[in-house]
Structure 1
Amino acid sequence: MTNESTREQGRTEQQLRDDLAQKLIEFGAARSPGVVTAFRNVRRHLATPEVDMARTYDAEFAAITKTDEHGVDISSVSAPRVQAMQMEQADLAPGMTVLEIGSGGPNAANLAEVVGENGHVVTVDIDPEVTDRATRFLKATGYQNVTVLTADAEHGAPEHAPFDRIIVTVQAADIPPEWTAQLKDGGRLVVPLRMRGLTRTVALVRDGDRLVSDGVELCGFVPMQGLGENRVRLAVLHDVEGEEVGLRLDGHPEPDTDALAKALITPPNKAWSGVTLGGSESNEHLDMWLTTELDNLPLLAAKPGARQRGLVASASPLGIPTLVDGDSFAYRTVRATDEDDRYELGAIGHGPHGQQLAERLVEEIRTWDRDHRGDRAHIEVYPAGTPDDRLPADGRRIERRHSRVTITWP
């Protein structure tokens, strides 16, 4: 390759990085100078040489690097937008010591850029293939203030603790006590926490033995492996290939799948709330409200073919909150309004009690709109075994092996 070709490639690569940084600023994902500079500097495409270079600098592109024997994604390089969002939630500063749980390479490099030469990043993953890839990437890109560990991150990295920040890049259903113990008091843990099926990346500040939320964002991550693995289970209601419909269960009561499968093919019952959303307005806080208030609310997952056939009105890869009661269910939906780019929230029910369940969902949608539309859920995490009188008196409690998670609203 000639020197001129080399210079041309360098200009193209730098332009891709600059364009990515600008896009992250426009999205509001990257706000601080350190985070913006990190994305301008890190050569993230070297972590996934099998992927087209320009694709790796797409703000929304997550590169899947490994799947299990069932085809489930178990390792990835997260999308730049999500990485930037978590970095901003962490409130990083030069000189900090940071633990990253779930390695990929580029995110550790981003963190190393922000904490600088006087800071240190420890990145840990259970899979040696993943850590080997991360090690090669960090060597190729010259980041020397990063330590790569192959271990079950359930135990953190005690030999490198305490940490100013811990950033988890895999979905977690629980908070192991080691994570809290290895975090400095006042330090921040940023974790994609799954709560009754819904995953949100939560910034938690350590206050003694409890963690208190200071920011909640929508996200999607591959699940935790090892001792902390606790995957959602799918209860199948319709299993025709390409039209599959099921309920994602995360501590929810065992459903009567036969009765619900029969309900699925009955005529729908609809109820509308009069509450509208703009086309670009997220329903993530509404869904968190619904899962806080309603007891049996798993997520309805459906393939696009099920929607095309008319079995369901909505199909979301993340799942749709669905109220279940015995032989009937109702799920959240929307319809267009006369106003441009606005949609009315409602519910569709199936089964003998489908209409009542749809109206119950609509009632909670109206309550959210009236009392909590501008609010965000407040999340606290306490050690398992914490007495009830130390927990917030109202809201939703989620019991895990290591922790008691509470969700409350202003």
Structure 2
Amino acid sequence: MNSNSAPTLDDLRNRLVDQIVAKCPLPPRIEQALRSVRRDLHLPGLAPADAYTNQAVTIKDNPDGPLALSCASVPSTVAMMLTQLDPQPGDRILEIGAGTGYNAALLAELVGPEGQVTTVDIDPGVALHARQALNRTGYEHVRVMERDGLEGAAEHAPYTRMIATVGLWDVPATWWEQLADGGRLVLPLRWRGQTRSVALTRHGDTLVCDDMELCGFVPVIGQHGERTTELAHGTVRLHHDQDQPVDPGELAEVFSAPCTELWSQARVGSEETFDGVWLRATVSDDTVCRIEVTKQALADGVRRPAIPGRSPALVSGGSLAYLIAERDNADHERPSRLGAAGYGPEASLLARNLIAHISDWNTDRAAVPHMTVHPADVPDSGLPRGHVIVKVDSRAVLSLTETNA
């Protein structure tokens, strides 16, 4: 590219892929697909330079809430999930959440002329957008269906690969029936207030996870396993699962007492993530959920969480504790230390429990839980050893093997 000339579309696309690969190398086939498929044509009306930035783009707003109804996902997240899915030539793929059609185009590139791609979306406008974009970019053979993604698309099953580009709280029973034995399912799965892109392979009646990555997605329409409890006149919100007994009545005055602070020995640098604390805690603790503290609550004196919009919290009865961070520059490489802020009668106990989770994570930050997912009707005797999280259509079992052991 001439330094005095405006970058071409190819320049912009390749520059974006270069940025993604520089942070996380990709399999050659996936990198080539990203360099081949034109994201700008799936985002008409958006300036090309904006189409080739590593950020999500809202394509349909939600009139009933702050989260969009449909987005074009962050390109690096698209690349990460495609790597997890590992599409092969000839695969039969079902995508849940058509979005702009861009991901379906990438999938079509990866499965080749012998493969098949079906993408579904519940919103007629989004499905039409995807259909038109795929036609415009030469992927007329991709099948686009307007329907509830929770139903899948049984008429074109079985699928060797399935991928969801919307947040799921549960693995629908219908998907089990449509995924071939040995097939692979990648989905943003939510539990205890967090979302991880989990890669699962079907072995009979068990889905075995071999990779999970932090992510965030617009939630699917039709699953209602998560609850929101508002505190402090709606300025603090707890996001928790339906099986967690969070009682707003018991917590009504939780912030009226002084805050209890405890500190761990764990420290993090400015570029380090500490979401592993949250993930680690879910392996054994059913009190884990997400706390969201608004600017108004902070102005009213509520202790600032590590991340105000999404930090792990432990809730029991009329008490809670959540993750906090403080910069003290005692360690220039890792200037922030992690701790717990507690409120309520059992503030100290819950804060100590959270400190224990932080300390466990700090001992082996690379440890990732092992997860298996089973149909909901599998009896306890048929489950492997581990911590069971009960959903509607499935039961997830989490266990942990120390990487330093």
Q: TM-score, normalised by structure 1?
A: 0.90
* C-alpha displacement of 1:194: 0.9
Aligned match of 1:45: 40
Q: Does residue 43 of structure 2 align to residue 75 of structure 1?
A: no
The verdict on how the C-alpha distance between 1:264 and 1:270 changes in structure 2, with shifts beyond 3 A counting, is same
Q: Residue deviations 1:175-198, cap 9 Å, x none?
A: 123222222222110011111222
Q: Is the 8 A contact 1:321 1:332 kept in 2?
A: yes
Q: Does residue 27 of structure 2 align to residue 55 of structure 1?
A: no
- 1:104-115 alignment, distance < 5 Å: 104=99, 105-115=101-111
Aligned match of 2:388: 397
The verdict on how the C-alpha distance between 1:57 and 1:308 changes in structure 2, with shifts beyond 3 A counting, is farther
Corresponding residue SS for 2:276? helix
* C-alpha displacement of 1:402: 1.2
Q: Does residue 206 of structure 2 align to residue 210 of structure 1?
A: yes
Pairing partner for 2:292 from 293, 301, 314: 301
State the one-letter code of the partner of 1:331: Y
* C-alpha displacement of 1:58: 1.3
Corresponding residue SS for 1:340? coil
* C-alpha displacement of 1:75: 1.4
Q: Does residue 369 of structure 2 align to residue 377 of structure 1?
A: yes
Corresponding residue SS for 1:166? strand
Identity %: 38
Between 54-63 and 101-110, report the one with greater CA deviation: 54-63
Partner Cα separation in structure 2 for residue 184 and residue 252 of structure 1: 31
Q: Is the 8 A contact 1:196 1:298 kept in 2?
A: yes
The verdict on how the C-alpha distance between 1:128 and 1:315 changes in structure 2, with shifts beyond 3 A counting, is farther
Q: Does residue 265 of structure 2 align to residue 257 of structure 1?
A: no
Between 34-43 and 197-206, report the one with greater CA deviation: 34-43
Q: Is the 8 A contact 1:190 1:201 kept in 2?
A: yes
Partner Cα separation in structure 1 for residue 359 and residue 50 of structure 2: 41
Q: Does residue 227 of structure 2 align to residue 233 of structure 1?
A: yes
Partner Cα separation in structure 2 for residue 61 and residue 289 of structure 1: 28
Aligned match of 1:5: none
Q: Residue deviations 1:63-90, cap 9 Å, x none?
A: 3423143343221111111111100001
Q: Residue deviations 1:267-303, cap 9 Å, x none?
A: 2211111122233222222211112222222211122
The verdict on how the C-alpha distance between 1:256 and 1:162 changes in structure 2, with shifts beyond 3 A counting, is closer
The verdict on how the C-alpha distance between 1:388 and 1:252 changes in structure 2, with shifts beyond 3 A counting, is closer
Corresponding residue SS for 1:292? coil
State the one-letter code of the partner of 1:373: R
Partner Cα separation in structure 1 for residue 295 and residue 138 of structure 2: 44
* C-alpha displacement of 1:305: 4.0
The verdict on how the C-alpha distance between 1:41 and 1:308 changes in structure 2, with shifts beyond 3 A counting, is farther
Aligned match of 1:408: 399
The verdict on how the C-alpha distance between 1:278 and 1:252 changes in structure 2, with shifts beyond 3 A counting, is farther
Corresponding residue SS for 2:253? helix
Q: Is the 8 A contact 1:331 1:349 kept in 2?
A: yes
State the one-letter code of the partner of 2:117: V
Partner Cα separation in structure 1 for residue 339 and residue 192 of structure 2: 21
* C-alpha displacement of 1:341: 4.1
Partner Cα separation in structure 2 for residue 306 and residue 48 of structure 1: 38
Corresponding residue SS for 1:18? helix
Q: Is the 8 A contact 1:62 1:77 kept in 2?
A: yes
Aligned match of 1:368: 361
Pairing partner for 1:98 from 93, 98, 102: 93
Q: Is the 8 A contact 1:252 1:297 kept in 2?
A: no
Q: Residue deviations 1:353-405, cap 9 Å, x none?
A: 212321221122223333x43210111111111011121222x2122221111
Aligned match of 1:154: 150
Corresponding residue SS for 2:128? helix
Partner Cα separation in structure 2 for residue 116 and residue 87 of structure 1: 15
Partner Cα separation in structure 1 for residue 337 and residue 10 of structure 2: 44
* C-alpha displacement of 1:166: 0.4
- The CA RMSD measured in Å over matched residues stands at 2.0
Aligned match of 1:290: 281
Gaps of 5+ in 2: none
State the one-letter code of the partner of 1:120: Q
Q: Is the 8 A contact 2:163 2:185 kept in 1?
A: yes
Q: Is the 8 A contact 1:124 1:150 kept in 2?
A: yes
- 1:118-133 alignment, distance < 5 Å: 118-133=114-129
Q: Is the 8 A contact 1:48 1:63 kept in 2?
A: no
Corresponding residue SS for 1:298? strand
Q: TM-score, normalised by structure 2?
A: 0.91
- 1:15-54 alignment, distance < 5 Å: 15-28=11-24, 31-54=26-49
Aligned match of 1:117: 113
Partner Cα separation in structure 2 for residue 52 and residue 34 of structure 1: 27
* C-alpha displacement of 1:254: 3.7
Aligned match of 1:3: none
Aligned match of 2:258: 267
Partner Cα separation in structure 1 for residue 207 and residue 398 of structure 2: 12
Gaps of 5+ in 1: 1-7
State the one-letter code of the partner of 1:255: V
* C-alpha displacement of 1:39: 1.6
- 1:319-330 alignment, distance < 5 Å: 319-330=310-321
Q: Is the 8 A contact 2:56 2:71 kept in 1?
A: no
Partner Cα separation in structure 2 for residue 208 and residue 318 of structure 1: 39
Aligned match of 1:278: 269
Partner Cα separation in structure 1 for residue 308 and residue 342 of structure 2: 20
Aligned residues: 394
Corresponding residue SS for 1:122? strand
Q: Does residue 145 of structure 2 align to residue 168 of structure 1?
A: no
